[in-house]
Amino acid sequence: MGESPSSWAYSLVDSSQVSTFLISILLIVYGSFRSLNMDCENQEKDKDGNPSTTGSFNNGNTNNSQYEKMSKNKSNTPNISLSIQTIDSTQALFLPIGASVSLLVMFFFFDSVQVVFTICTAVLATIAFAFLLLPMCQYLTRPCSPQNKISFGCCGRFTLAELLSFSLSVMLVLIWVLTGHWLLMDALAMGLCVAMIAFVRLPSLKVSCLLLSGLLIYDVFWVFFSAYIFNSNVMVKVATQPAENPIDVLSRKLHLGQAMGRDVPRLSLPGKLVFPSSTGSHFSMLGIGDIVMPGLLLCFVLRYDNYKKQATGEVPGPGNMSGRMQRVSYFHCTLIGYFVGLLTATVASRIHRAAQPALLYLVPFTLLPLLTMAYLKGDLRRMWSEPFHAKTSSSRFLEV
């Protein structure tokens, strides 16, 4: 017997669904602006005479002379920007294949690798959540302490804010291991989302299309068709399977008795966001890949909007549209597309009453409006291959 229209509509505005929508959008926006802020900080350092690292627009395959000078004059001083990674075309093509191999390893050998995978995930989540907390810790420590770095020998030099954020992150991970609470797992997943959006860059629209299209095929195959081959929905099983608690495993290995590991729960790994409904009858779940991968596209268009805004002598050409269309940013257009895609995925899951590959809806609703808008504005050719390549002065004289 089907649900009434009122109950079906109420389920879409349930607290779990609303929380999923709001948190995923906030994570994408915050991660994108953290990424842009890192670029701006590196540019300021370069203006002040300090050599910058790879954390500027140079990560977007910039051919600007300013950014070339920045990349040639690197410092050996440890810097957070050294961790920034730019995905090229080859990596974009093979990333879905690598993800498929990892998924199969987790599906067939989860019992053998679950402890190692849990420990590695906990370490990564600790670093990522420390990055998420860093701005707050910098704000708290600014009045009482100068931002001098404290040396820890071969481990490097760290400010008081960095030490505080890392300590808080370690504490949260330990509490999560001991309790397995879903809220702590969500906090760690949020840190992973923000860190990946901020530190991984898409250099062009071409690479963005290759990556998101490949991941769309990957998501659709493993959700819809894996059951025909493996007699089980591989994606859902891996995403929802809890792992053994390392404390429990350690107590058994060291023969410490059952009392030590008896009360520790199995851990649901922070590869997803989960939110309970207002009635507590079910959870709404969204994989962090469904946040991070569209988030990388949002980060790219935000950097392009900022670059285009700062570019000197940027005059609309004859092929560009003027007026209201020019004032609409690519970031806002793509963010609205992400919201509509997430809403469509939620409606589809309610209609079919089964797990849906979210990227099936998120990728078209983000890429297609972006491509259309770039074509109408006359930026498609530039964004496709060399979005951060400065126009020459001679081309400006032709644009009268």
As annotated, the active-site residues are 219, 290
Tokens standing for 295?
A: 């988030």
DSSP 8-state symbol, 54: S
Helix (H, G, I), strand (E, B), or coil: what is residue 283? strand
Residue 53: closest CA among 70, 37, 32, 68? 70
A 10 A CB-CB count for 192 gives 23
Tokens standing for 347?
A: 């409606």
**Going by C-beta distance under 8 Å and a sequence separation of 6 or more, which residues neighbour residue 38?**
55, 80, 81, 84, 198
Q: Rounded CA gap, 58 and 6, in Å?
A: 52
Q: Rounded CA gap, 342 and 365, in Å?
A: 9
Q: Rounded CA gap, 325 and 311, in Å?
A: 19
Q: Facing residues of 85 across strands?
A: 200
The single residue listed with the structure tokens 């992150």 is 169
Query: Do 23 and 273 meet the contact criterion of CB atoms below 8 Å apart?
Result: yes
Query: Do 156 and 179 meet the contact criterion of CB atoms below 8 Å apart?
Result: no
CA dihedral 283, 134, 73, 64 (to 10 degrees): 50
Query: Do 198 and 151 meet the contact criterion of CB atoms below 8 Å apart?
Result: no
A 10 A CB-CB count for 347 gives 14
